Amino acid sequence: MTQSSFEVWPHPPVLYFHHQNMTTPALLPLSGRRIPTLSPGASSFPHHRATLRLSEKFILLLILSAFITLCFGAFFFLPDNSKHKRFDFGLEDVLIPHIESEKEARHSSRQVIHGVGAHDEHRHREEEESLRDKIRADHERALQEAKEKLRKSKEELKAEIQTEKTKVVEDLKKKDGPKPLPPVPMPKLVGVNDGDPGDPDTKEKRDKIREMMKHAWDSYRQYGWGHNELKPIAKKGHSTNIFGNSQMGATIVDALDTLYIMGLHDEFKDGQEWIEQNLDFSVNAEVSVFEVNIRFIGGLLAAYYLSGQEVFKVKAVQLAEKLLPAFNTPTGIPWAMVNLKSGVGRNWGWASAGSSILAEFGTLHMEFVHLTYLTGNPAYYQKVMHIRKLLAKMDRPNGLYPNYLNPRTGRWGQHHTSVGGLGDSFYEYLLKAWLMSDKTDTEARKTYDDAIEAIERHLIRKSNGGLTFIGEWKNGHLERKMGHLTCFAGGMFALGADGSPDDKAGHYLQLGAEIAHTCHESYDRTVLKLGPEAFKFDSGLEAVAVRQNEKYYILRPEVIETYWYMWRFTHDPKYRQWGWEAVQAIDKYCRVSGGFSGVKDVYSSNPTYDDVQQSFFLAETLKYLYLLFSSDELLPLENWVFNTEAHPLPVLHLGNITLPGSETQQ
Ligand code: DMJ
């Protein structure tokens, strides 16, 4: 709130907050007593009433109706008004009924003992007590809600009104009970288990990785069950703001498909039971739309396709519905965060002048297409296609996509481009949209090819020592630094090689191999043989981190992901060898009795732990390692496309299927 004033209007006695251009009642009955005006020159009620606009009236109406409800509550439930002493004015005093003194209570209880009997009197007092508590809690909640409303910006209030309206319409539609999801043909599900690699040495290595998964899962089961993640040193639950500090069992949902393909069926069942009984999205939690999409919706959909258990599909759809209000922006580019209960969205405070992030709004396509396929609801498909169309119309500096886009104005934020954090999975999902459509979505493929061409021209270089790296583009300048996150691109180039224009398949496979080599070097040049978060190719430095805050390893998967794709496409044994080096290093330096932890400095022989077992360690790192030591029959790439959190989704043969909503998109 920038400026507030408080004043009293005699009829009715209501306290008004002036918030920017708005005047809103704050539910405070004042019995004619005057509250000091904090801001001189505040105008009187009739004038403001004359200038109220539609949205403001709506808010006014909402708040007034809340107030009236409270009055009714008080009227009917307040046990005996005479026992509620009136206070001098203060916010709390006005709202919280006074509770009679101990002396009065003792006096009245003596009277009742004579008249009715001790037992009845005791019960009566208890009932009174609990009624008072309820009224007090109601009042406090109403005050809190009113305060929160007044703190919000105009945009947020508008979005809230829009969400309310949509909700009313949807509730009306749902009046006859929830519609069952339409039956759809199950896509061809090939290679959902087994993948025995054949030779005993590889099998032994694969068993070791399975054992590591069991240790990670069992530890979480024992110390962090139901929490989003685990603190393996403190041996308790952990969460971050991407999950809105609500206990949504992120590790359970993220790990399910890994458990399934590893044949850990009891653990899978345990996870399923928790989801059936506890996973509830009607929580007042502000979550990251991107993270919830890739980890929860992706995880639930993959679990559904692999196991055929309906509950996962139903939960995925329930959650997806909660994300839809995030798209209520002037451009249809979603907010980064949305409150699952209120539907109010907003962006990260740090993102270039209120921008949304390319890698976040650009990483929804795979899951949303599957949602439309499974539900028959065109909304999901239309939302992601709208984003694609909007991006296609925009000018791109040097053919590059900046990481930031303002959802209000539809204009780019800072001209930074990255194939690592903030940009990465946008490119990945263009390629995977094409693959997932059985290569019929040629628009996605063309967009990917054009983007990669610009990236190669401006961002990919060779270091003095001959290492190929992908730098970061910042306002026309190339920063010769590569992130661990960027290392996924080796796998992406290999995956996209087949089908690339001008018969450049060999070139892209080679590029993938070079990136894999560079990223392996970033691991090999450390003491722990684990890769740093970011590494430089500058002033004589080759693939090493310089700054202390870039030396950590948080159990990330990207380098191993690239090893696995390269293995599938080349069967060069070095990729298994590099993968095994990573297994040994993780087991030696990250394993603790309570699970697996990230380490703060990969160049120190005496590393300290960050005490977080990330959910993506179970979803991605261990899954890619397991696949690296399995046969190609397990989740073949012709039939499955992995989302950016390594959740496999089946190819939809869109040549034979028309998605609802796609007819109107042309
Ligand atoms: C994962 O959540 C996903 O891979 C995402 O795309 C970016 N990185 C993390 C793990 O590093």
**Six token digits for residue 55:** 């949205």
Are β-strands 477-479 and 481-483 bridged in parallel, bridged antiparallel, or unpaired? unpaired
More confident residue, 12 or 174: 174
Question: Which DSSP category does 414 fall into?
Answer: S
List, in sequence order, the alpha helices (H) in 45-187. Answer: 45-51, 54-77, 91-95, 102-115, 118-151, 154-173
**What are the pLDDT digits (tens) for 160-207?**
777 777 666 666 655 555 567 777 888 889 999 899 999 999 999 999
pLDDT confidence bin for 115, thresholds 50/70/90: very low
Quote the ligand 1 centre to 106 CA distance (angstroms).
Answer: 63
pLDDT of 105 > 60? The answer is no
Q: Who wins on pLDDT, 124 or 368? A: 368
Q: What local confidence, expressed as pLDDT, does residue 50 receive?
A: 36
Least confident among 112-116, 167-171, 209-213: 112-116
Task: Classify the phi-psi angles of 430: left when phi > 0, otherwise alpha if psi is within -120 to 50, otherwise beta.
Answer: alpha
Q: What is the pLDDT of residues 298-324, one digit of tens each?
A: 999 999 999 999 999 999 999 999 999
Q: Given the CA of residue 428, which atom of ligand 1 is nearest to it?
A: 6
Q: Is 558 a catalytic residue?
A: yes
Q: If residue 442 lies in a helix (H) or strand (E), which one and from where to where?
A: helix 442-458
Nearest CA to ligand 1 atom 6: 644
Q: Reply yes or no on whether the pLDDT at 123 is more than 90.
A: no
Using one digit for the tens of pLDDT, what is the confidence trace for 329-387?
999 999 999 999 999 999 999 998 899 999 999 999 999 999 999 999 999 999 999 99
Band (pLDDT 50/70/90 cuts) for residue 73 is low
C-alpha distances (whole Å) from 463 to each of 148, 262, 373, 507, 521 are 53, 40, 46, 19, 13
Q: What is the pLDDT of residue 141?
A: 79
Catalytic residue among 121, 424, 610, 611: 424
Does 31 score more than 60 pLDDT?
no
Selection from 524, 533, 512 nearest residue 578 by Cα: 524
- Residue 160 is predicted with a pLDDT of 74
Confidence of residue 500 (pLDDT cuts 50, 70, 90): very high
Question: Residues 229, 254, 257, 291: which is the catalytic one?
Answer: 291
Question: How many Å lie between the centroid of ligand 1 and the Cα of residue 521?
Answer: 21
pLDDT exceeds cutoff 50 at 469: yes
Residue among 56, 160, 558, 610 flagged as catalytic: 558
SS3 3: coil
Per-residue exposure over 460-496, b if at least 16 CB sit within 10 Å of its own CB, e if not: beebeeebbbbbbbeeeeeeebbbbbbbbbbbbbbbb
Q: What percentage of the chain has pLDDT greater than the value 70?
A: 80
pLDDT for the residue numbered 166 = 67
Residue nearest to atom 8 of ligand 1 (CA): 485
Vertex 234: Cα angle to 277 and 607 (nearest 5): 130
Cβ < 6 Å from ligand 1: which residues? 425, 485, 556-557, 616, 620, 644-645
Q: Mean pLDDT of all residues in the chain?
A: 84
Task: Read off the pLDDT of residues 397-438 as tens digits, 9 standing for 90 and up.
Answer: 999 999 999 999 999 999 999 999 999 999 999 999 999 999
Distance CA 436, CA 652 (A): 6
Residues annotated within the binding site for Ca(2+) are 644
Q: What is the DSSP string of 618-661?
A: IIIIHHHHHHHTS-TTSS-TTTEEE-TTS-EEEPP-TTT---TT
pLDDT in tens, 552-606: 999 999 999 999 999 999 999 999 999 999 999 999 999 999 999 999 999 999 9
CA 203 from centroid of its chain's CA atoms: 36
Nearest CA to ligand 1 atom 10: 556
Residue 154 CA to ligand 1 centre (angstroms)? 34
pTM, two decimal places: 0.76
- Please tell me the least confidently modeled range out of 495-499, 562-566, 661-665: 661-665
Q: What is the model's pLDDT at position 665?
A: 53
- Choose between 476 and 70: higher pLDDT: 476
pLDDT digits (tens, 9 = 90+) for 257-275: 999 999 999 999 999 999 9
> Beta partners for 346?
337
- Report which protein residue has its CA nearest ligand 1's atom 3: 645
Residue 281 Cα to ligand 1 midpoint, Å, equals 22
What is the predicted pLDDT for the residue at 333? 98
Handedness of CA 371, 493, 531, 547 (dihedral sign): negative
7 classed as catalytic: no
Higher pLDDT, 661 or 620: 620
Q: What's the whole-number mean pLDDT along residues 449-470? A: 98
- Percent pLDDT > 90 in the chain is 68
- 533 noted as active-site residue: yes
- Out of 556, 614, 623, 642, give the residue to mutate to test ligand 1, the one with the largest number of ligand atoms within 8 Å of its CB: 556
Q: Does 424 qualify as catalytic in the annotation?
A: yes
SS3 11: coil
615 CA → ligand 1 middle, Å: 10
